[in-house]
Structure 1
Amino acid sequence: MERATRADVARAAGVAPSTVSLVLNGRGRDVKIAPATIERVQQAARTLNYIPNAAARSLRRGKSHLIALLMAELPDDPFVPVVHTVLTTAMIDIQQRGYLLLPLFQSGDGASDAEVIRGVLGDTQLAGIIRETTSAEAFTSRLLANLGIPVVAMSMIEANPTGSESSLIRIDEGAGVQQVLSDCALIDPSTGMGTGRAVFLAGPNTNHARQHPIAHAFGTNFTLYSLPDWEASTAYQASVRLLTEDPSISLIALADDSQAPGVFQAADDLGLSIPADLSILGFGNQDHRNAEAMGLTTVDWPLKEMTEAAVASIINVIEGRSPADNIHPRALTVTEETTPASSQPIPVATIPTHPVWRTSVARRA
């Protein structure tokens, strides 16, 4: 079946094609078109299932309502909490504000991947781009700098602006971790130093900063172990080995809550009581049900708030407002930072993390 055209709607309603455009663009009452005529045009459009050509309309108006979300590589399971939270939040928030979302995933610096993204961004009329920079590829920065489109960067970790973005939304990973340590029985309140030894189990990526407060508190008694994946089974094997070799370990902190079941199982198999013998601190709080079942004390990762702030910021830029204008009600700090690439100060909004206390970390009475 051929797609209905504006001329088809005009014939069905008995009006000129220009009248159809005015009515369906919401300007019928402004130009004094009779209510009965407006209703007749709208009914004809519904009957014919007429959908205006978005590209043509954008060209006429000189304005697009399409916002691209450029993220890192899509994992094997696209429903992992991190990806699911960012995608669904962006999709819903952008649509509620009258725009549409175009998700794009960059899988590497390879020529084929670069060409695909370059082709989509170059051939699609976009109003703006939200760029997730946590695992950014170099070619993307060069490409976006040449497009002349507003770009808002958002980082799930602590990051600095590059100079190519209109604003940066970032997360202060260490804030929530520091709050846990401030109330942790393993930390001497008079010196701020930890007792025993602390281990941080990182995943494949070690560009985060959530381990820094722990490293500072435990000093030479802190060790970071980088694991090849985020699997609980891998964390289990590492924990059994580490706890067997060094019984003085008093805290195992995790880069992600997904590792927690393995550490809990390792402690149980070794006959260790949590938190009397071993404290376990997670990070993320994305899977509330499992964390609650384990009693995992963790740090809330405000990915939803980060995404909402990035959506608000890019729409502010598109619509001619300040990038930092009322971008999110949750407590955050907004600063202006300059970079070697830009002498213009860039608004940077920093969203703090917060502790979620359960029972797996020894807490001061």
Structure 2
Amino acid sequence: MNRVSLKDVAKKAGVAPSTVSLVLNGKAKQRRISDTLAAKIQSVAKAAGYQPHPVAVHLRTGQSKILGLIVESISGSFFAALARTIEQEAEKYGYKVLYCSTENNPLKGRELIQMMLKHQVDGYLITPAPGMEKDIQQLVQDGKHLVLMDSYFEHIDTPYVLIDNYKGIYTCMDHLLKKGYRKIGFVTVDLELVQLQQRLLAYHNACKAYKIPATQQPVLKIPYNEPTKNITRHINRFLNKHKTLDAVLFATNYLGVAGVESLTHLGLRVPDDLAVVCFDDHDVFRLYPPGISALQQPIADIAKAAISLLMKQLGASKGKIGKQQIVLEGKFIQRKST
């Protein structure tokens, strides 16, 4: 089927192509085109299935009206919720979102950036994987509009939005320690990401503040991209090795979900045998009896702040850009697991 052109719409509506262009680009009132005629043209365009060619739009306006969103994982609940809000917020400014994931593979991340460059996206929203430093730096050097989310590279000056990872884990630890727990295990991901490093540092510093020896701070680092059954096995072995633990803190919600499965498999009761807290909430934690305490990330706020920063860079939002590094606080949700 041949693509419906602007000239086809003009012929069906009985007007000049320039009139159709003005109406479809929102300039009808500016050029004193009547509401009746504008409505007719829009109706004809819709009925004919007219879609403006993205290359033509870019040549005419200098914008594609498309944003590139690159996240860690499409399947992750955090990133899915983040993408959903970003799509909703972008639509308010007339932008569509091209959405894909790296699975924390820097080579894939590089390929996705190159693909988005070819699509001439107007701006980038990226949760960067380890090893993507050069690609991010190149976008900055090329003057591309960019906001990082959930993580950043300390030596690259870019706008970013993320939760206060250090304070979030410290809050979880402070809750457990004030409850009297002293033998607290920490389960995290074996990745060199700044947010994970901050979470691990907060765990150790909280232990230090309560004078818990380093030898009594057991940490399990699980390789990224492990199948769920393998993650559960890792946690099983960790808990069997450290039978004296009275609490465990999970650094991500997908580790926490696997941890709940592990506890069930081992026949451990929560909180009678083991108290449990997780950084980043999940529906499972609300539904699993007796309910798992968690540090809830402000996902909607992260997405809205990132879009706001990007829109100001693009000139689509009024006002000064202002602060470009935004760190938001999480909310501790206490349930009966502690």
TM-score (norm 2): 0.82
Contact 2:122 2:145 in 1 (8 A): yes
What corresponds to 1:355 in structure 2? 332
TM-superposed deviation, 1:200: 0.7
What corresponds to 1:197 in structure 2? 183
What corresponds to 2:207 in structure 1? 218
TM-superposed deviation, 1:262: 5.2
In 2, the alpha carbon distance for the partners of 1:240 and 1:223 equals 14
Alignment of structure 1 residues 4-19 onto 2, 5 Å: 4-19=4-19
TM-superposed deviation, 1:315: 0.6
In 2, the alpha carbon distance for the partners of 1:296 and 1:53 equals 50
In 2, the alpha carbon distance for the partners of 1:96 and 1:56 equals 22
TM-superposed deviation, 1:270: 6.0
Q: For residue 350 of structure 1, give the secondary structure of its aligned residue in structure 2.
A: strand
TM-superposed deviation, 1:238: 4.3
Q: For residue 3 of structure 1, give the secondary structure of its aligned residue in structure 2.
A: coil
Q: For residue 199 of structure 2, give the secondary structure of its aligned residue in structure 1.
A: coil
Contact 2:102 2:129 in 1 (8 A): no
Contact 1:202 1:254 in 2 (8 A): yes
Q: For residue 249 of structure 1, give the secondary structure of its aligned residue in structure 2.
A: coil
Contact 1:232 1:260 in 2 (8 A): no
In 1, the alpha carbon distance for the partners of 2:189 and 2:132 equals 19
Work out whether 1:308 is the aligned partner of 2:297. no
In 2, the alpha carbon distance for the partners of 1:275 and 1:39 equals 63
Alignment of structure 1 residues 136-285 onto 2, 5 Å: 137-156=132-151, 159=152, 161-165=154-158, 167-184=159-176, 186-187=177-178, 196-205=182-191, 207=193, 208=196, 209-219=198-208, 220=214, 221-228=216-223, 233-234=229-230, 236-260=232-256, 263-264=259-260, 273-285=269-281
In 1, the alpha carbon distance for the partners of 2:93 and 2:267 equals 54
Contact 2:251 2:278 in 1 (8 A): yes
Between stretches 142-151 and 304-313, larger displacement belongs to 142-151
What corresponds to 2:53 in structure 1? 53
What corresponds to 1:26 in structure 2? 26
Q: Give per-residue Cα distances to partners, 1:63-105, cap 9 Å, x unaligned.
A: 3311111234x4xxx3331331222222222122211112243
1:292 aligned to which of 287, 307, 315:
287
Contact 1:199 1:253 in 2 (8 A): yes
What corresponds to 2:71 in structure 1? 71
Contact 2:71 2:79 in 1 (8 A): no
In 1, the alpha carbon distance for the partners of 2:106 and 2:232 equals 33
Where does structure 2 lack aligned partners over 5 or more consecutive residues? 209-213
In 1, the alpha carbon distance for the partners of 2:113 and 2:252 equals 32
TM-score (norm 1): 0.76
In 2, the alpha carbon distance for the partners of 1:106 and 1:267 equals 31
In 1, the alpha carbon distance for the partners of 2:65 and 2:262 equals 51
- Report the AA paired with residue 145 of structure 1: V
TM-superposed deviation, 1:37: 3.3
Q: For residue 79 of structure 1, give the secondary structure of its aligned residue in structure 2.
A: coil
- Report the AA paired with residue 360 of structure 1: S
- Note the aligned Cα RMSD (angstroms): 3.0
TM-superposed deviation, 1:240: 4.5
Between stretches 213-222 and 255-264, larger displacement belongs to 255-264
- Taking a change above 3 Å as real, the CA distance of residues 164 and 117 of structure 1, as seen in their structure-2 partners, is farther
In 2, the alpha carbon distance for the partners of 1:224 and 1:278 equals 16
- Report the AA paired with residue 175 of structure 1: K
1 or 2, which has the higher helix percentage? 2
TM-superposed deviation, 1:280: 1.4
- Report the AA paired with residue 271 of structure 2: P
TM-superposed deviation, 1:260: 3.6
In 2, the alpha carbon distance for the partners of 1:242 and 1:38 equals 67
Query: How many equivalent pairs are there?
Result: 324
- Taking a change above 3 Å as real, the CA distance of residues 53 and 262 of structure 1, as seen in their structure-2 partners, is closer
